[in-house]
Amino acid sequence: MRKIEEILSLQDVSQIHNLLTARKQDFKTPLDVILMQWDPSKHKVFDERERPKKKIMVPSGKNDPITGKALYKSKWVDVVRIAVPIQQSIVDMIVSFLLMNEVTYKITAHGLRIKKLNDKQQSLSDAVNHCYHDNKMKYFDKRLVRTVCKEREAAELWYMEQDGSGKLTGRIKNMLLCPTRGDKLYPHFTDTHKMDGFAREYYTYDELGTAYMHFDVYTDMYVYQYQNLENGWTLTGKKMHGFTKIPVVYYRQDEAEWEKVQWAIERVETCISNWGDTNDYFGTPKYFVQGRLEGFAEKGEQGAVFVGGKDTRMNVLSWNSSPESVRGEIANLFNIIYSFTQTADISFENMKQLGNNTSGAAIRLMFTAPYMKADLKTEIYGEMFTRRCNIVANGIANTGAYIKGIGQDVVDSIDFEPVFKPYLPKNDVELLQLITSSNGGAKSTSNRRAIELNPLNDDADKVEEEMKQEQQDTMMQEAALSGFGGTATSKQSVVNEEE
Q: CB neighbours of 200 closer than 8 A, spacing ≥ 6? A: 155, 157, 177, 183, 184, 185, 186, 215, 216, 217, 218
Residues 293, 314: Cα–Cα separation, whole Å: 9
pLDDT for res 496: 45
pLDDT, tens digit, for every residue of 221-245?
Answer: 999 999 999 888 999 999 999 999 9
Q: What is the DSSP letter of 484?
A: S
pLDDT for res 479: 84
Higher pLDDT, 295 or 102: 102
Q: How confident is the model at residue 260 (pLDDT cuts 50, 70, 90)?
A: very high
| Burial annotation 129-155 (CB, 10 A radius, 16+ → b, else e) | bbbbeebebeeebbebbbbbbbbbbbb
Q: How confident is the model at residue 31 (pLDDT cuts 50, 70, 90)?
A: very high
pLDDT for res 320: 61
Q: Quick check: 336 and 261 in contact, CB under 8 A?
A: yes
Instruction: State the pTM of this model.
Output: 0.81
Grouping H, G, I as helix, E, B as strand and the rest as coil, residue 259 is helix
Look at residue 492 and tell me whether its pLDDT is greater than 70. no
Look at residue 494 and tell me whether its pLDDT is greater than 70. no
Q: What is the DSSP letter of 261?
A: G
Q: Quick check: 232 and 13 in contact, CB under 8 A?
A: yes
Amino acid letter at 394? N
pLDDT, tens digit, for every residue of 406-465?
Answer: 999 999 999 999 999 988 776 666 666 665 665 566 666 777 777 776 767 778 888 888
* Torsion angles phi and psi, residue 51, rounded to 5: -135, 85
Provide the 10 A C-beta neighbour count for residue 349: 7
Mean of the per-residue pLDDT values for the chain?
86
Q: How confident is the model at residue 489 (pLDDT cuts 50, 70, 90)?
A: very low
pLDDT, tens digit, for every residue of 341-382?
Answer: 998 877 767 666 666 656 666 777 778 888 889 999 999 999
Residues 340, 262: Cα–Cα separation, whole Å: 11
pLDDT, tens digit, for every residue of 51-99?
Answer: 999 888 888 888 888 888 888 888 888 899 999 999 999 999 999 999 9
pLDDT for res 287: 73
| DSSP codes, 367-434 | THHHHHHHHHHHHHHHHHHHHHHHHHHHHHHHH--SSSS--HHHHHH-EEEEE--------HHHHHHH
